[in-house]
Structure formats: C-alpha cells, structure tokens
Structure 1
Amino acid sequence: PAQAIEGIAYFTVSELLQNVSKHARATRASVDVWRSADRLMLQVTDNGRGGASMDGGTGMSGLAERLGAVDGLFVLDSPAGGPTTVTAELPWRDRESEKSAVGPRTA
C-alpha cells in the first residue's frame, strides 16, 4: 500500500497490541492483515477479559478518529469476559499511484 496507509496500519496494530499487553490480561493475541478489493483490512484479536470501549479514554477513540480521517473504519467488539476483536479498514492506495501523483522528481 501507499506509505501513508502503511504507516497508519502499522501504528494502529502497534497501539492495539500495546492495549492488549497493558489492559487485557490476555495470554494470546493475533494479527491478521489482508487486502479485500480496494480496502486494507486489519484484525487484532485477544483472549483477554474484554470490556474494552470507545469511551474508556483516548486510545480506542483516537484510533477510530485517525482511521476516519482517511476514510477508514474502526469496529470494536469486546464483550465483558472477552474475547476482544478489533477490525480496521483502510482505503487501499497503491504505492506506485502515490509516486505518480507526486510527479517526477528533478535534481
């Protein structure tokens, strides 16, 4: 994907895994990444205690805002008792398209 989309994806997964390690009391987490048509899909799942919410601080809501700013989606499923699954979608933009949009570089 384009570097900007790749960066947002990396940051999102990194923050979600940090949340798992700090709050979930999980013994296992998984990350799945795939492309579906014109979307980059991310899913982070853990077997922790659940109960994560969008209003429990700035973490989850901040991630949702960051994805929303680029036409992405952020879906949190975290019932009390677990497990927690976060699915994120980002628009797929090819790295090559990104380069051509900038134009040729001259020295």
Structure 2
Amino acid sequence: MAEHRIFGMSFAGIYPLYVTKVERKGRSKEELDQVIGWLTGYDAVGLEKAIATEVDLRTFFAEAPAMNPNVSLIKGVVCGVRVEEIEDPLMQQIRWMDKLVDELARGKKLSSILRSA
C-alpha cells in the first residue's frame, strides 16, 4: 500500500496555515507554539529549525524531543475520523496536532487543550 502523501508534506508548509487559522480566531502564534511544544517537546528554537530546514512531517515527528505522555487524553474527531482510533502511529500524531490546533482556534482554554488538571 502506498504511503499517505501527507507524511511527505513539509512542516514549514503546514505551520503558516496553522498560524493563519488560530490568528483569524483571535489566538496567537505563541499559543500555537505552546500547544505544538506540549505535544512534541519542541521549544521555539526547535520549531524554527524544523521550519527553516523544511523537514517533512515524518521527520518532524521522528525527531520530536519528547511526545507528551498525556497524548492518550486527546480524543475527538478530525476530518471525520476519531483520533483515538487511528491505527497508523504517524497519522495519529499528525491528527493529534490537527485536533489541538482546532481546539485552539475554537477558543478552548489552554489548560483544557494542554490536558491540565
């Protein structure tokens, strides 16, 4: 079976779309970076490096400093599919990120998005 084409997409190509989406809804790039950092462990320098080197999503997640141990708390539907039921690990990671960005854009509190107590 052929690999899904999203795996080869550049993080640098997707990131500005995320920024536009959250800013259009009154949220900030800094909040977006915090959400992505919570998920992947990337800090500001790491995100900038991933953007500058135009790594693909496979590499972006493979080189993530530390996936958050609470990712199993991310539940819901993205593109008509429940994120907790996605079998391919990379696709699930991508959809987790999409879900968190969607929550940020919808105005959820950061404490809720970051699955804080």
| Superposition TM-score, scaled by structure 1 size | 0.32
Larger Rg: 1
| Superposition TM-score, scaled by structure 2 size | 0.30
More helix as a share of residues: 2
More strand as a share of residues: 1
